[in-house]
Amino acid sequence: MKEFIIFLIIFLIVFGISVFIFNGRYIYEQTKYSFIGAPSTSKLPDSLNREEKELALPDKLIIPSLNIEAPVVISQSTTEVGFQKDLEKGIIYLPGSSALNEKGTMVIMGHSSAYPWYKGQYGSIFALLNKLNINDEILVFSQNKTYAYRVLQKEIKAPKDLVFQTQKEESVLYLVSCWPVNTSWKRIVIKTTQVLDKN
């Protein structure tokens, strides 16, 4: 009996260390958010300029309520390997998505977790997407222009059910990441719609 208890204690210690190693980034982000909240973000533009003649592609995304800020990579790939390489540099704009200044559907994807040896700096950039609430603000930048979106819906879906409706009457942005953290079992999908201004 004594040997079993010793084995059980050692097993639990090793298991706990393993969980922490593989989920360290996620645990850190969730704990920091729970106890401290999202720290203040860098100063955001006071107004949004919507007069554009050329199609505007995103180059940066900010979620003020979660203190998330990341560059947007315009992916040229259509393969999983290519997407994973692009995700090392930031979050990715899915090829074929609509532009910021046109009606349609835009999809941006990012990692929710990564192993400790992950090369990029954005391995857990979307670890807190589950903390978003309806009407939270998402800001997307294109050069010197800013486009604001409001959260409409939050869903967890199986990859086979991941279908983005084509929009003709409004500008919709979907933020997508793997969920639960450290799995590729399902996807967390945040649906947002573009607003004309921040007021």
CATH number reported for the structural domain that contains residue 140 in this entry? 2.40.260.10
Domain that holds residue 191: 55-195
Give 44's pLDDT tier (boundaries 50, 70, 90).
very low
SS3 string, 107-152, reads: EEECCCCCCCCCCCCCCCCCCCHHHCCCCCEEEEEECCEEEEEEEE
35 domain residue, yes or no: no
4 domain residue, yes or no: no
Our count of domains for the chain comes to 1
Q: Is the peptide bond before 180 cis (omega within 30 degrees of 0)?
A: yes
Find residue 148's DSSP bridge partners.
139, 195
92 domain residue, yes or no: yes
For the stretch 80-125, pLDDT in tens is: 888 888 999 999 998 889 999 889 999 999 998 877 777 778 888 9
pLDDT for position 51: 45
Percent of the chain at pLDDT exceeding 90: 41
Distance CA 190, CA 130 (A): 9
122 domain residue, yes or no: yes
Average pLDDT over residues 72-77: 89
19 domain residue, yes or no: no
155 domain residue, yes or no: yes
Q: Cβ(28)–Cβ(20) under 8 Å? A: no
Find residue 190's DSSP bridge partners.
154, 175
6 domain residue, yes or no: no
